[in-house]
Amino acid sequence: MDLHRALWSTRPKTNRLAYYSFLAKKGLGRRNADFGKDVVVEYDGLKFIICKGFSEALYSVYVNENEPETCRYMTSQTGDTFVDVGANVGGYTVRLAARFAKVISVEPNPKAAKVLKKNIELNQLSNVTVYSEAISDGVGEATMYVPSSGKTTRSSIIERYGQGESFPVHTTTLDSLLEGYDRIDLLKVDAEGAEVRILEGGEKTLQRTSKLVLELGSWSEKRIMDILSRYNFKTFDLDLKAATGKNLAAEGHQGSQ
């Protein structure tokens, strides 16, 4: 498969003209491009690697087109500590590393984590720490499910997408992982249905979190909103996501300090 077809198969939900314009601007529109090897692309002054057989990583290149309001909100933030739960290959980890003193990047899927680490190296980011555990409501073991499509962006400890690959992962909680951090300026949680478990394991963390961005669907919205209300977060919607629901921003009492 050539690079053009691979990119089109993983395109954001936008119109064809906008997509081809994006490719042309970024030098990725060569129909005869060789997709039989790893490709490094540059976008917004950053480098991302598209590994052979893993064209899904292109979502990290054009995340600002796939979820523009979320990207705009997150890249406007600065502070000491950013925590990226469900980092995948690093779309937000790489973008925000220059805006925070410390970045904690969590990705339990080995395939995605390998590309995440390469993207961190490509951009020479010395302030990013990667953890391979799955975040949940307890410390122990769980099963990570990857859907039959193989998309790592849908990997989850919640079995939702039918038959596919599965493997054991170690779990920890936000409170355990972030015990030594006095304040979390921005926390992003995108865990494909595990968001409720993650928040339930982060009672102490939420009390010292200033801003939060997370994905929620109809199955989790009420429970998530109840948790955020308990900690006096004010919420507002970002991007609607046809497949999974919407992205939500929440700002806590520390945000005004």
Query: Residue 248: which CATH number?
Result: 3.40.50.150
Are residues 143 and 99 located together in one domain of the fold?
yes
CA 96/CA 81 separation, integer angstroms: 10
| Backbone conformation region of residue 10, classed left if phi is above 0, alpha if psi is from -120 to 50, else beta | alpha
Strands of 128-131's sheet in order across = 128-131, 100-106, 79-85, 184-189, 209-216, 245-251, 234-241
Are residues 76 and 53 located together in one domain of the fold?
no
CA 2/CA 25 separation, integer angstroms: 18
Query: What is the per-residue pLDDT for 154?
Result: 58
Are residues 8 and 35 located together in one domain of the fold?
yes
Are residues 163 and 227 located together in one domain of the fold?
yes
Each of the 257 residues of the chain gets a pLDDT tens digit; together they read 455 555 555 555 555 445 545 555 555 544 334 455 787 888 888 998 887 767 666 777 778 877 899 999 999 999 999 999 999 899 999 999 999 999 999 999 888 899 999 999 999 999 999 999 999 999 999 887 776 554 555 566 565 655 567 878 899 999 999 999 999 999 999 887 788 999 999 999 999 999 999 988 777 889 999 999 999 999 999 988 756 678 999 998 654 33
Tell me which residue range forms the domain holding 98.
Answer: 67-256
Are residues 77 and 59 located together in one domain of the fold?
no
Are residues 95 and 47 located together in one domain of the fold?
no
Are residues 12 and 117 located together in one domain of the fold?
no
Are residues 164 and 98 located together in one domain of the fold?
yes
Domain count, the chain: 2
